[in-house]
Amino acid sequence: MAHVLVLAAHPDLRLSKVNLALLRAAHELAAAPGASLEVRDLYALYPDYVIDVHDEQAAAERADLIVWLHPVQWYSMPPLMKLWLDEVLTLGWAYGRSGSGPGRALRGKDLWLVASTGGAEAAYRPDGYNRYFFDAFLPPYEQTAALCGLRFLPPLVLHGAHAVGTERLAVHVSTWRERLATYPAWPELADLEQCPDCDVPAGDRPATQAVQEAA
């Protein structure tokens, strides 16, 4: 059975409609008998922003599918999710090469972005106030996945989260539950290419000692 890891990052769930509903649904699925689903609410785990890198790397290694669940803030991810990337996706573990060997711990796994935006879908158009289609903001996610050997799956995005109605939210949560419960039996996965190789030259990432001296 495939193991799914949901990493949720919302700075204040008291103000959330979409992420709170999705997180609750994920917890319900994780509690079901025989479930192979792990949910980690980063803001609940690390209110002081001190991330347990060993625990997070172990959780990521257990997973076949890693889910990033978060609202879009300033065209990117919330700060604690970014800190998770900075501290957990280390050189020689997630990518590149260090003295301990190549960073291949995540190679062959899948990454799924599940995001919500405050702005309506019409805002993400050349004639909208965000000036670009939403896909234009995805390359940093896609390349982060590629560098770590993760296959980037088509995101699940809900626009207009602040004004979402009950019926539309229920449909979105139902889709989310179905996807989590049926991975990897998603029809579109058969047509997705595997992750490209992104080999980092050793000279592009100096040794730890050199980094400390440069700092």
pLDDT for 205: 75
Q: How many domains does the chain have?
A: 1
**Rounded-to-5 percentages of helix, strand, coil across the chain:** 45, 15, 40
Print pLDDT tens along the chain (215 aa).
899 999 999 999 999 999 999 999 999 999 999 999 999 999 999 999 999 999 999 999 999 999 999 999 999 999 999 999 999 999 999 998 776 667 899 999 999 999 999 999 999 999 999 999 999 999 999 999 999 999 999 999 999 999 999 999 999 999 999 999 999 999 999 889 888 888 888 778 766 534 443 44
**Helices 53-62/79-88 angle, 10° precision:** 80
**DSSP letter assigned to residue 177:** H
**DSSP letter assigned to residue 99:** T
Please give the Cα distance from 125 to 113 (Å, whole number).
20
Q: What is the pTM of this model?
A: 0.93
pLDDT for 207: 62
pLDDT for 127: 97
The torsion angles phi and psi of 156, rounded to 5 degrees, stand at -110, 115
CATH number of the domain at 18, please: 3.40.50.360
- Strand ranges (E), 11-141: 37-41, 65-71, 97-98, 101-102, 110-116
pLDDT for 215: 44
Q: Is residue 9 within 8 Å of 69, Cβ to Cβ?
A: yes
Instruction: Note down the domain range covering 98.
Output: 4-214
